[in-house]
Amino acid sequence: MPHFTVVPVKDQAQSSYDSLEGINWVDYRDTGQNYPDHQDTVSSDGHGNHKEDSPFLNSADAACKKNDFYDRNLALFEEELDIRPKVSSLLSRLVSYTNITQGAKEHEEEESAEASRRKTPKSPNMGTLMGVYLPCLQNIFGVILFLRLTWIVGMAGIIQSLLIVFMCCSCTMLTAISMSAIATNGVVPAGGAYFMISRSLGPEFGGAVGLCFYLGTTFASAMYILGAIEIFLKYLIPQAAIFHATDHTGSDSAMLNNMRVYGSICLSLMAVVVFVGVKYVNKLASLFLACVIISIVSIYAGAIKSLTHPPEFPICMLGNRTLVRDRFDICAKTVTKDNMTVPSQLWDRFCLPGNITSSQCDDYFIQNNVTEIQGIPGLGSGIIKENMWGNYLQKGEILEKARLQSADAHGAMENFGMYVSADIATSFTLLVGIFFPSATGIMAGSNRSGDLRDAQKSIPVGTILAITTTSLVYFSSVVLFGSCIEGVVLRDKFGDAVRKNLVVGTLSWPSPWVIVIGSFFSTIGAGLQSLTGAPRLLQAIAKDNIIPFLRVFGHGKTNGEPTWALLLTGLIAELGILIASLDMVAPILSMFFLMCYLFVNLACAVQTLLRTPNWRPRFKYYHWALSFLGMSMCLALMFISSWYYAIVAMGIAGMIYKYIEYQGAEKEWGDGIRGLSLSAARYALLRLEVGPPHTKNWRPQLLVLLKLDEDLHVKYPRLLTFASQLKAGKGLTIVGSVIQGNFLDSYGEMQAAEQAIKNMMEIERVKGFCQVVVASKVREGVVHLIQSCGLGGMKHNTVVMGWPYGWRQSEDPRAWKTFINTVRCTTAAHLALMVPKNVSFYPSNPERFTDGNIDVWWIVHDGGMLMLLPFLLKQHKVWRKCKMRIFTVAQMDDNSIQMKKDLATFLYQLRIEAEVEVVEMHDSDISAYTYERTLMMEQRSQMLRQMRLSSAERQREAQLVKDRHSLVRMGSLYSDEEEEVVEAAPEKVQMTWTREKCEAERRNKNNAPENFRELISLKPDQSNVRRMHTAVKLNEVIVNRSHDARLVLLNMPGPPRNVDGDENYMEFLEVLTEGLERVLLVRGGGREVITIYS
């Protein structure tokens, strides 16, 4: 048995994870530079091999490191290592990859650009608790919980309030499941919902929903500021109010004006704080979160304490009406003072000054008793039965307690300010819109994905846990509020019945001030967070460069802080502040957040149903049905809360979508909408495969054959103009061209040609596809295009090609031979053919014909193409005002009068409006002019043939001298077809002038006069004379009737079966169309394309 020894192989190059040639890692975290979009670029290695740049690897200078991979172990792959890196190098970059966005470094920490570049990037180290759970709690718990939840419970009742909470929390939970699936499907850079939606649904949806999310976050900052100002002016320092009401009717407007002034001041201060440094906001975040938690704990503590010792908050009732408690001191009509019964302050409010016996009092006040009830009966009081059902109020309706007796009497209007009344009309749908913002904030974890140690684990767990926690708090709070607090107090939005105390504060322990101060600081903190996040979101959208007019907001301070975006955010938030009502701003941001959540669910559902290969989320507890349910709930909540706001929000998103689509977002993010389009296209194509379209559905699906010049510019762009006018954006248009050469050598040229054609298509507004093929011969390339263009049922049925101008003057027959070969191929493939002659005289798209005719010369029936084409052209604004005339040719034995009637009836049944004329062509002798034209044509053909033969002889001699040691099969110099000149390969190659060669040359010279004599004595072929006669006669008639027509459509005769007559065929077509400015030669595809039936 042989003995083996293992010896380590030593390479000259180090085998460590060194930098690979052409590839270097770029850290995007700490520099404020604007890097190009490194996710969507495609480059080439110069050999036709495309390579897509990785989102984490970037090309760099590596000339000094070439030997790193040219080692013996990888010699087989060394030529491709610049585009296919070593696995070790790839993995080393993957380990070092970070997803923190650039521009996150604060101005205060940035001493110099060089120092920041040298600084080692800090690795993300946040876990689930600090990175996702607590930030989500802070964002979800907000102003609505402290200021409006008690009021919602009082208006809707416990049952409907639980339903509201369940709907909103279910919606956010389903959205969180979808978001978790998207967030765990690969690395999510810091960008949150915008990044997930745009990369899943494409730039159009991403831009639209990203802006909606931005507007929602901006209005959220306005809502939090309004909540803070409401707490400040109502409960903290009411004396700070600038505007005061002169009577009870002006109190609302005075309050709104105060909110506007203080809200604007607060917004300005917050904007300055955000501008100076976000680090202060982040440092205070923990403090604000502590305020929220302490406030919620105090509510639970107060509810438990109310079981045994309910807090003392008496409510004064007049009959069953609730009185504003701070307008008087004692809840009684009279008081005993010095053993005398005297009127109380309450009496003075309802009665004119005087003694008790006078009758100058409010009727309702006189007939009803004043009673005092407990505002917070406590958990054991059984008040939950009364608060179980809803009690919606109209604006201005007085809060009443149903159990108390009340005499039916009308009170004076001037005393209305003594009662607690509803400030707005309430309904279930309104309350849904107001409550929903308290369920938002679930994106806080995904927004911080760049700071998380393991984002794919932390985001799902932290977000779902936070939603579960907040949902339990909301459910329990609804039950506790309904079980502990009197119904009229719950319905009292601003605490007027409990001496202007915050209603939720009356339940808290140890003091109402815990809730007031805690809620004030928490709303300030939430407003700062929103004002910090919104500009960064706008900056991310602007830097993606999908909405051109937002480009300026991508710039900021040297450290990347979004200054311009912050300015715009402040202006939009000011609009929310000027609304000044928390109850009106809340439904607005509900719409925008619901729109965002709807598309998160849609993104997950689309990706799941398409089963794209890249859809492999680590979070497994999702399903497309859950995503669709979440999407449906979002849509339902939008219209439930406010149908007109929903329409406005969807309109804004729709306009942004169409704007991005119109501008042409040149982004390819591998989004699901592209995959959806692909699946839909595949399904439609398979359906179309069933059979050819019915005549009623037939429309010209064009293959436009273009010719390019030496600089790869389109030679006749008016062909594209004509195609766009004929199609008007409907149906299929394929623009094809042929480049002569070898595919391997001409790949770059082919790409350049494709780009040139696409640019011209965009200029001419042709919607379609471009296909350029490389072939050794142009004729073969055209045949390939005719055979292979299109896919399945979406194939062309009509070919549009240009006329070979100058074919008479050129000795090179390739142009017209290719033309005739294309005509034959279209006929063999049963395709229609259109040849616009004098196409440079055709109108451009901006031109308009205000009058004139489109003349159709219907000589033979060819499937009805001649009738259909003018109708389609008249749909375009260039030809719309032209009239249509149809001429047909009658022979001597035809009844021209009956033909005209029949043709008019036929057009009537086709629903085509046109003038009808029948042209009679009498039999006449062949004129001398016709005979002479035929003779000239044949003499020219014979002479050119002899010239080409002699030229071929000279070329052959030169080639034989040049190729000394090879046997070459010769071809014509002027033809790209090998079979043009047929001769046998020489048996032996003669390299010197021999006697036989000299004699042959002498014979050729002697034959020259004989060839000339043959040309002189040539007699024209009779069939050619007949054809020329027809062409001349038809041309005379057409020119006579249609010399001033805007366009003449004419049946195109087919090429002769005998290939020898090809050149004569070209001459016949020239004669047929002489003297006409714009001619469209039309040849049908052998099937009916128009029908009289519906």
Per mean pLDDT, which range of 447-456, 457-466, 893-902, 905-914 is the poorest?
447-456
Q: What is the pLDDT of residue 926?
A: 54
Give the SS3 label for residue 791. strand
In terms of Cβ atoms closer than 10 Å to its own Cβ (0-12, 13-18, 19+), residue 627 is buried
Q: Which DSSP state fits 148?
A: T
**Six-digit token string for 451:** 């700071």
In SS3 terms, 638-700 reads as HHHHCHHHHHHHHHHHHHHHHHHHHHCCCCCCCCHHHHHHHHHHHHHHHHHCCCCCCHHHCCC
Pairing mode, if any, of strands 42-44 and 24-25? Answer: unpaired
Most confident of 148-157, 176-185, 1014-1023: 148-157
**Beta-carbon contacts of residue 478 (< 8 Å; ≥ 6 apart):** 149, 153, 158, 161, 162, 165
Give pairs for 623-630: CB < 8 Å, separation 24+.
Answer: 626/174, 626/177, 626/178, 627/174, 627/177, 627/178, 627/601, 627/602, 628/601, 629/174, 630/171, 630/174, 630/175, 630/177, 630/178, 630/597, 630/601
In SS3 terms, 436-468 reads as HHHHCCCCHHHHCHHHECCHHHHHHHHHHHHHH
Q: Which DSSP state fits 232?
A: I
Model-level pTM greater than 0.85? no
Q: What percent of the chain has pLDDT over 70?
A: 74
Cα R_g (the chain), whole angstroms: 43
Q: What is the pLDDT of residue 630?
A: 95
Most confident of 410-419, 457-466, 943-952: 457-466
- Identify which has the larger pLDDT, 953 or 351: 351
Q: What is the pLDDT of residue 164?
A: 95
Mean pLDDT of 314-325: 89
Q: What is the pLDDT of residue 568?
A: 92
Residue type, 988: K
Q: What is the pLDDT of residue 960?
A: 55
Q: What is the pLDDT of residue 477?
A: 94
Whose structure tokens read 């027509």?
Answer: 1045
Quote the crossing angle between the two packed helices 428-435 and 582-610, to the nearest 10°: 80
Q: Is the pLDDT of residue 486 over 60?
A: yes
Q: Is the pLDDT of residue 803 over 50?
A: yes
Q: What is the DSSP string of 12-58?
A: SS--SSPPPTT-EE---SS--------SS-EEE-SSS-EEEPPSSEE
Per mean pLDDT, which range of 15-24, 146-155, 485-494, 809-818 is the poorest?
15-24
Q: What is the pLDDT of residue 932?
A: 61
736 forms beta bridges with 705, 771
Mean pLDDT of 641-668: 81
Q: What is the pLDDT of residue 554?
A: 82
Task: Write the pLDDT tens digit of every residue in 1051-1071.
Answer: 888 887 777 767 778 878 888
Exposure of 157 in the CB half-sphere (CA atoms within 13 A): 13
pLDDT band (50, 70, 90) for residue 1076: confident
pLDDT band (50, 70, 90) for residue 102: very low
Run of H or E residues at 857: strand 853-858
Through-space distance between the first and last CA atoms of the chain, rounded to whole angstroms: 91
Question: What's the rounded Cα separation, in Å, for the pair 873 and 547?
Answer: 36
Task: Write the pLDDT tens digit of every residue in 214-227.
Answer: 888 899 999 999 99
Question: What's the rounded Cα separation, in Å, for the pair 836 and 832?
Answer: 13
Question: What's the rounded Cα separation, in Å, for the pair 517 and 511?
Answer: 11
Q: What is the pLDDT of residue 989?
A: 42
Q: Is the peptide bond before 1053 cis (omega within 30 degrees of 0)?
A: no
Mean pLDDT of 1021-1036: 76
Are residues 772 and 738 in contact, defined by beta-carbon separation less than 8 angstroms?
A: yes
Per mean pLDDT, which range of 457-471, 674-688, 729-743 is the poorest?
674-688
Q: Is the pLDDT of residue 1083 over 90?
A: no
In terms of Cβ atoms closer than 10 Å to its own Cβ (0-12, 13-18, 19+), residue 565 is buried
Task: Write the pLDDT tens digit of every residue in 910-929.
Answer: 788 888 888 877 666 555 55
Per mean pLDDT, which range of 19-23, 255-259, 977-981, 1017-1021 is the poorest?
19-23
Mean pLDDT, all residues of the chain: 77
Mean pLDDT of 141-162: 92
